[in-house]
Amino acid sequence: MSLLYKEDWSETKEAFKAWWEGESNIIQIFTSKNGPYTPFPKFRVLELLAYPEIVSKEFEEWCKNTLFYLYAYPSLYPTFGPGIMATFFGSLPVYQSGTVWFTPVEGWENIPQEFDESHPIWIVLKWLTRSLARMGAGKYMVEVSDIGGILDIAASLRGVKTLLKDMYAEDPHLNNLLQLLTDTWFKVYDELVSILLANGMDGVSRWVIWCPRKWYPIQCDIAYLLSPTLFEKYALPHLKEQCLRIEYPIYHLDGVGQLAHIDKILNLDNLRGVQWVPGEGEEPHLSDKWSDLYEKILEKGKLLLLMDVEPDTVIPLLEKYGKKGLLITSSMERSKAEKIISEMRKKGYIESA
């Protein structure tokens, strides 16, 4: 299969196959053909929810003005917000300031005890995924939506403070909820992947990362509030199950608050890699502050994902950590991109054209 807006799609897929096995690096650079680079609006799909054909046309126009350098490629993200699965169990989404918040459900008795597959948001999400996949087939990839992390979904349903109280009280309702959310998570994920594969997608895409098999960035953003004991009791079980049931799992390590759990995370069986997000107000990806973390991840044989890095740090990061298994993404103006790519060729990081 080829893609209209990515001429070397076959070569790109082969590069990703090698990267997943830790045999190479992936560098993705996004830029505009004319003017400053502007990403496709994150919530455009949501804004035009009833009109996927308009979304598809707008995305194609964006693709026509975008250069997908090296192993970057066009990938449309049909998101309703991070952790939309919370709405299947009674939480209401609130769209505000470019993100989505979820209102807690009052009382255990008001959280459904099973997944209602006729839930309207689930029905719409499947329809939207199917529609966009059919329109994008042969032109661009369509991604698996953001389902959320198991414990993060629980936090949306109960509220963060209430959830922490549930943990300290060892409330039996919480274990039942986490099992229900885990079972539902896999049902939702498997069905979305099946829809994509049945409607023209030749692999699984998420975060503009392609995989020939099932992959997903697992997460537990609430982990920064958890003691090692609580993390082991309430987060690790579902993370272990996700690592065993997803063929290529990546952990989304978001912020310094999660570093207390890094050893337990790296010891997860079948975990393929870690995406590091320093967090707002922290040192950038290239900072020596993170060197020990990067070395620890790579020494464990895991892939290291550094995304949305500053343009001037692409080559230095490659020089320091780019033996194998590194993924770097960056966006910049065209002249800057072409200069960096030229320098990468001179240094032998990519093949000469």
Please tell me the predicted confidence (pLDDT) of residue 7. Answer: 95
- Looking at the predicted structure, is the pLDDT value of residue 134 above 50? yes
Q: Does residue 215 sit in helix, strand or coil?
A: strand
Please tell me the predicted confidence (pLDDT) of residue 40. Answer: 97
Please tell me the predicted confidence (pLDDT) of residue 352. Answer: 56
| Structural domain spans, the chain | 9-346
325-351 exposure pattern, b = at least 16 Cβ within 10 A, e = fewer:
bbbbbbbbebebbeebbeebeeeebbe
Residues 188-207: what's their mean pLDDT? 98
**9-346 maps to which CATH number?**
3.20.20.210
- Looking at the predicted structure, is the pLDDT value of residue 182 above 50? yes
How far is the CA of 104 from the CAs of 90, 108, 160, 273, in angstroms? 8, 11, 9, 32
- Kindly report, residue by residue over 152-174, the tens digit of the pLDDT: 999 999 999 999 999 999 999 99
Q: Does residue 156 sit in helix, strand or coil?
A: helix
- Looking at the predicted structure, is the pLDDT value of residue 100 above 90? no
Please tell me the predicted confidence (pLDDT) of residue 353. Answer: 45
